[in-house]
Amino acid sequence: MGRRKKGVKIDGWINLHKPVGVTSTQMVGKIRWALGAQKAGHGGTLDPLASGILPIALGEATKTVNFVQDAMKTYIFDVTWGEQRTTDDAEGQIIQSSDKRPTLDEINTILGKYIGDIDQLPPQFSAIKVDGERAYDIARDGDVADIQSREVYIEALNVLDHKGDITTFECHCGKGTYIRSLARDMGQDLGCFGFISALKRTKVGAFTLENAISLDFFDKLRDNTHQDVTHTEVSYEDVVLPLQTVLDDIPVLALKESEATRLKNGQGLTFIARPDIERLNKAQILWQEDEGDIALAMFNDKPIAMVEVIGGNIRSLRVFNI
Tell me, yes or no, whether 90 and 171 share the same domain.
Answer: yes
How far is Cα 45 from Cα 58, in angstroms, rounded to an integer? Answer: 16
Q: What is the pLDDT of residue 237?
A: 65
Domain residue limits at 270: 250-319
Residue 69 belongs to what H/E stretch? helix 65-69
Backbone angles phi, psi at 130, to 5 degrees: -125, 110
Q: What is the pLDDT of residue 124?
A: 74
Which of 47, 78, 88, 185 is catalytic? The answer is: 47
Contact 38, 7 (CB under 8 A): yes
Interstrand relation of 50-58 and 194-204 (parallel, antiparallel or unpaired):
parallel
**Of 246, 239, 225, whose CA–CA distance to 320 is shortest?**
246
Contact 234, 35 (CB under 8 A): yes
**Domain limit, last residue, from 221, 244, 267:** 244
Tell me, yes or no, whether 166 and 237 share the same domain.
Answer: no
47 is an active site residue: yes
Tell me, yes or no, whether 166 and 218 share the same domain.
Answer: no
Contact 130, 220 (CB under 8 A): no
Taking only the tens of pLDDT, the chain with its 322 residues reads: 455 567 788 999 999 999 999 999 999 999 998 888 889 999 988 988 999 999 999 999 999 999 999 999 999 999 999 999 999 999 999 999 999 999 999 999 999 999 999 999 888 766 777 667 776 677 676 766 666 889 999 999 999 999 989 999 999 999 999 999 999 999 999 999 999 999 999 999 999 999 999 988 887 776 665 444 444 444 556 789 999 999 988 888 888 899 999 999 988 888 644 344 444 444 443 333 345 678 899 999 899 999 988 877 888 999 999 8
Tell me, yes or no, whether 200 and 211 share the same domain.
Answer: no
> Helices 215-225 and 24-35 meet at what angle, rounded to 10?
40
Residue 2 lies in a domain: no
Neighbours of 316 (CB within 10 A): 20
According to DSSP, residue 50 is labeled: E
* DSSP 3-state of 255: coil
Domain count, the chain: 3
How far is Cα 280 from Cα 303, in angstroms, rounded to an integer? Answer: 17
* DSSP 3-state of 214: strand
Could you tell me how many residues make up the chain?
Answer: 322
